[in-house]
Amino acid sequence: MDHPIPVTFPPALAVFGQHRSVRFFLHEPLAPGDLDLIIEAGRRAPTDAQGHMYSFVRITDAARRDRLATLCANQQHIRDAAEFFIVCLDVHRLRRLIEQRGGEWGMRARIGLIYGATDATMVAQNMVVAAEALGYGTCYIGAVQNHTDLIAQELALPPGVLPLYGLCIGVIDPEKYPPVKPRIPRALCFFENSYPADFTPAELESAYAAMSVKRDWYESIRTYFAAGGTMAHREPVMARALRQQALDPQPV
């Protein structure tokens, strides 16, 4: 099914049309008050059952920021950004709240992982949109998953808290502002009433055609998602981290 796609967003939605991940920042702080606005915009996100299953650790200590950057594939933009957060799913505080009133904790790891990641991500993305609306650049850092277990130790995260990714927010270097990246065709990811029986070769190639701007997109995604790629290497790290943070799903 073909959907007409607007080529320009109206002013109220312009921030979405302008999004690109920014990896080059000027060494300048955010304007006074802007960080509070960004955080409060984040905190207005919906939260499943009012559980607030997230925590954000703002990294202001330069030595700690440097160590985290090293653990996250040595990405320089982590060091350069005005602000850097480690975004965590967090069921520890909720458990403490239940126990505070004498309740017995009843949420196990599978559900906690899903809702914790969902809650945290809605807050993070609200912050991204707010920061970009204020003119800043942002970049998520999934490379946190290269060393989730060590990062949890570095931040003294208690059981029930798991680092998901980092979030850089900073002043854009205008000389290194990247172009907007494409997205796969809408018809391959928004469906009506049910999931398609299968993707045809032509449909799959339409995604490659849309995404292969400077180089073949396959070369990009296979380094992450094919056998032996980045994601496969992160699997044992995550297994360790889930055990360490008492979030390993147990048999039901």
Ligand X SMILES: Cc1cc2nc3c(=O)[nH]c(=O)nc-3n(C[C@H](O)[C@H](O)[C@H](O)COP(=O)(O)O)c2cc1C
- For residue 102, the minimal CB distance to ligand X (Å) is 38
Span 145-204, contacts to ligand X by CB under 6 A: 165, 181
CA angle 101, 107, 113 (to 5 degrees): 130
- Binder among 71, 109, 141, 241 for ligand X (CB under 6 A): 141
Helices 34-43 + 109-133 axis angle, to 10 = 140
- Gap between the Cα atoms of 39 and 178, Å rounded: 25
Nearest CB to ligand X, comparing residues 53 and 69 = 69
Q: Which residues contact 199 (CB under 8 A, 6 or more apart)?
A: 188
CA dihedral (207, 223, 169, 8) in degrees, to 10, reads -10
- For residue 72, the minimal CB distance to ligand X (Å) is 6
Backbone torsions φ then ψ of 50, nearest 5 degrees: 60, 30
Q: How many residues bind ligand X (CB under 6 A)?
A: 12
x-or-dash string of contact with ligand X, 111-140, rule CB under 6 A: ----------------------------xx
Span 48-77, contacts to ligand X by CB under 6 A: 75
> Using CB under 6 A, which of the segments 20-28, 189-197, 223-231, 234-242 binds ligand X?
20-28
Nearest CB to ligand X, comparing residues 98 and 231 = 231
* Closest residue to ligand X: CB criterion: 142
**β-strand partners of 8:** none
Nearest CB to ligand X, comparing residues 30 and 78 = 78
> Using CB under 6 A, which of the segments 18-26, 30-38, 96-104, 236-244 binds ligand X?
18-26
- Binder among 143, 161, 162, 241 for ligand X (CB under 6 A): 143
- For residue 100, the minimal CB distance to ligand X (Å) is 33
Site membership for ligand X, residue 217 (CB under 6 A): no
Pairing of strands 137-141, 161-172: antiparallel
Q: Token digits for 33?
A: 């008050």
- For residue 68, the minimal CB distance to ligand X (Å) is 12
Nearest CB to ligand X, comparing residues 26 and 98 = 26
- For residue 220, the minimal CB distance to ligand X (Å) is 8
What residues make contact with ligand X under the rule CB under 6 A? Answer: 19-21, 23, 75, 139-143, 165, 181
